[in-house]
Amino acid sequence: MLTCRAVWKKLAPLARASSTVCRQNVRRAGWNNARTPLCVPVAHMSTGPVGGGGDNLKYALLVGAAFVGGLTYAVITVKGDQERHRERMAAIASRKQKSASQIHTEPLAPLETKLEAAAAPDAEAAAPSETAEPPPVDEPLAEASAEEAAAPLTDAGVEEAADSKPSLPSHAPYLLIGGGTASFAAARSIRARDPGAKVLIVTDEPDLPYMRPPLSKELWFSDDPSVTETLRFKQWNGKERSIYFQPPSFYIDTEELRSAENGGVAVLTGRKVVHMDVRGNKVKLDDDMEISYDKCLIATGGVPRNLQVIERAGEEVMKRTTVFRKIDDFKSLDKVSRNTQSITIIGGGFLGSELACALGRRSTESGLEVIQMFPEKGNMGKVLPEYLSNWTTEKVKKEGVKVIREAVVKSVSYKDDKLEIKLKDGRVVRTDHIVAAVGLEPNVDLAKSAGLEVDSDFGGYRVNAELQARSNIWVAGDAACFYDIRLGRRRVEHHDHAVVSGRLAGENMTGANKPYWHQSMFWSDLGPDVGYEAIGIVDSSLPTVGVFAKATAKDTPKAATEESGTGIRSESETEETATSAVAPAAPAPVVEHRDEYGKGVIFYLREKVVVGIILWNVFNRMPIARKIIKDGEEHADLNEVAKLFNIHED
């Protein structure tokens, strides 16, 4: 068509000139015969020659020939273009067939066929009807066997991956950046609402999606010497499971994603998204490959912080320091704990206290010295009121941990095959290895290229009530800074929030348009005997009211998991609601601020309104706590409110 247009531009001036001459000749002929033509077309300015009747015939023939020639040329050109298009499409199709035949002749073909056959029933099982609620993210559709769970970690698997690099899909209708809990929850939610959805998860970790809590909890209490390979553990209730959400057979290969008739979930491991083009709806990977998308979820989680004094201390100190976050960190610390004499944990929060208790129990068997130091007055001092923090510290000490309170690190150095930690008050601690458990920094590396807003107070990507950052882009998990209609803008770094926010983001990516209203909870266990669940804003700087009672044998994390059937306790709470909680009619004694805090409820207040609740060795009551915070009412007597949790029952 472009060629025809060019030809016409060349012929048009000649045609106009010929037409003008014809009109002038007709007018001249009328004057010569002493009569005016009935209808004379309007003449245009022209430089064409003047001629008589014979010339008129020549010009008419010239115009006709030009028209017929131009039309013929246009038809021939269009037919030629169509023929070349057909030839090119045929060549492309033949190349695809040739490539496919080459892939099927590779030695790995039988294994791929086996995985594809195994993936088919699981993919169908993962696609319930549109109205069906997706199953809890931590409940596997098909429990991973020890061999399947360990498959991505074997040397053979690594060699195969190195020999045959998977081809990447150039387009993914649903692209999920990050391979953690939030991404997996979103993938399940998307497939539940859109059974034919094609979902691609891109993660910079070498592992398939897995749950992080067992890395600092149950895995350390396993009796299996090969736990670092199988990554299977026994929950407090004795049931065994893998840390992976699903076995490899649940997923489809990235090569098959584009052609999969029923869709599926594919995971691209060991690759990092380094740039986002939000206008072009595409991302660039660390190897310069590009993938376009229709809808995108950012669930990049966070990066563990380290102390600046450690980072500035030099290579020898850094080699003997672990920042704990991933599977590799668990494996590395497990190896260190079996081959060293002393480990010092810096940090008194959830992660630091859990690791201290886990390593402390191991120290009784191996003679390992475990030291925990933190700037607060007691364990979890930023969360628990001071009296309960001090009581918790005594519990940690009984696990075999040497606790150093109010310890601010001034410098770290390497001398005489030992790490030397100097504190600001002059104390010196010598150790073989350091674990830095000092918090998490949200991963917002894509903010600049994507033009996304980062919250200056809490960190993370700012999102609206539907977890949307921009058109076709959602954020979930640790990296999302969302607005809580009750408690204001917040950012939460816990498993339950990753589950719920990922699930909601997946629903909204398929058009649900639901707001985020769920009050997520979190929990921490200091071994099988002491644990707590919390919701809302739990800050030790707020006024608190604690109501306690004597604990019984069933008031432990172990008993709680025996009742709920899962070690990830948040899953038994996520979908429940408190309907008609009624306090016992008979008055119950209140135990406050004694030396023993077997079980109880701690209320956190802001302007006389409950904004946070901790259930201390009280389990399966989270819906009641969630409703109290949601109501946002003032309570004259919190002792009466505590009765709703039935803490005084035997």
pLDDT tens by residue, 188-231: 999 999 999 999 999 999 999 999 999 998 899 888 889 999 99
Same domain membership, residue 616 and residue 527: yes
543 DSSP assignment: -
Q: Are residues 179 and 289 in the same domain?
A: yes
Instruction: Tell me which of 237-241, 410-414, 430-434 is least confident.
Output: 237-241
Q: Are residues 390 and 463 in the same domain?
A: no
The pLDDT of residue 235 is above 70: yes
- Give me the CATH number covering residue 632: 3.30.390.30
Mark whether 363 and 474 lie in a shared domain. Answer: no
585-594 tens-digit pLDDT: 444 444 444 5
Instruction: Determine the Cα angle at 261 with ends 505 and 115, to 5°.
Output: 90
Q: Does residue 500 lie within any of the structural domains?
A: yes
Residues 401 and 297 in one domain: no
pLDDT tens-digit series, residues 84-118: 667 666 655 555 454 444 434 333 333 333 333 33
Q: In this structure, is residue 591 part of a structural domain?
A: yes
State yes or no: pLDDT of 298 exceeds 60.
Answer: yes
- Same domain (yes/no): 384, 420: yes
End residue of a domain, out of 510, 543, 567: 510
Based on the domain organization, do 478 and 572 belong to the same domain?
no
Q: What is the share, in percent, of the chain residues with pLDDT greater than 70?
A: 71
pTM of the entire structure? 0.71
Pairing between strand 342-346 and 369-373? parallel
Q: Is 83 exposed, middle or buried (0-12, 13-18, 19+ CB in 10 A)?
A: exposed
Has residue 358 been placed in a domain? yes
CA 402 to CA 421: how far, in whole Å?
A: 15
Higher pLDDT, 25 or 236: 236
- Rounded to whole angstroms, the Cα distance separating 504 from 498 reads 10
Does 309 share its domain with 433?
Answer: yes
Q: Are residues 447 and 430 in the same domain?
A: no
Indicate if 500 and 532 belong to the same structural domain.
no
Give, in degrees to the nearest 5, the angle at Cα 510 between 144 and 200.
Answer: 45
Give the mean model confidence (pLDDT) for residues 643-649. 84
Please report, as a single letter, which amino acid is at residue 303.
V
The CATH code of the domain that includes 189 is 3.50.50.60
Residue 172's Cα: distance from chain center in Å? 16
The answer to whether 127 and 207 have CB atoms below 8 angstroms apart is no
| C-beta of residue 499 within 8 angstroms of C-beta of residue 245 | no
Q: Choose one of 418, 439, 460: the last residue of a domain.
A: 439
Would you say residue 325 lies in a domain?
A: yes
Residue pLDDT, tens place only, 420-470: 999 999 999 999 999 999 999 999 999 999 999 999 999 999 999 899 999
Of 415, 439, 463, which residue constitutes the final position of a domain?
439
Q: Which two tokens stand for residue 353?
A: 């206290």
**Averaged confidence pLDDT in the chain:** 79
Helix residue ranges per DSSP H, 134-276: 146-150, 155-163, 181-193, 227-230
Phi, psi dihedrals of residue 479, rounded to the nearest 5°: -85, -5
Range of the domain at 343: 305-439
Q: Which residue has the higher pLDDT, 21 or 402?
A: 402
In a domain, 203, yes or no: yes
Domain-embedded: residue 115: no
- Whether 434 is in a domain gets the answer yes
> Which residue would you say has higher pLDDT here, 87 or 183?
183
Whether 481 contacts 458, CB under 8 Å: yes
pLDDT at 31: 45
Angle at 382 between CA 381 and CA 385, to 5 degrees: 60
**What is the rounded distance in angstroms from the CA atom of residue 389 to the CA atom of residue 616?**
12
CA max distance for the chain? 131
**Kind plus residue range of the DSSP H or E element containing 123:** helix 109-125
Q: Give the dihedral sign, CA 261/262/263/265.
A: negative
Q: Which residues pair with 117 in a beta bridge?
A: none
pLDDT of amino acid 237:
65
Question: What is the bridge-based pairing of β-strands 521-525 and 473-475?
Answer: unpaired
The whole-number average pLDDT for the span 401-415 is 96
Rounded to whole angstroms, how far apart are CA atoms 487 and 610? 10
Residues 490 and 555 in one domain: no
Please tell me the total count of domains within the chain. 3
Residue 314 inside a domain? The answer is yes
Which tens digits make up the pLDDT trace of 569-589? 544 344 444 443 444 444 444
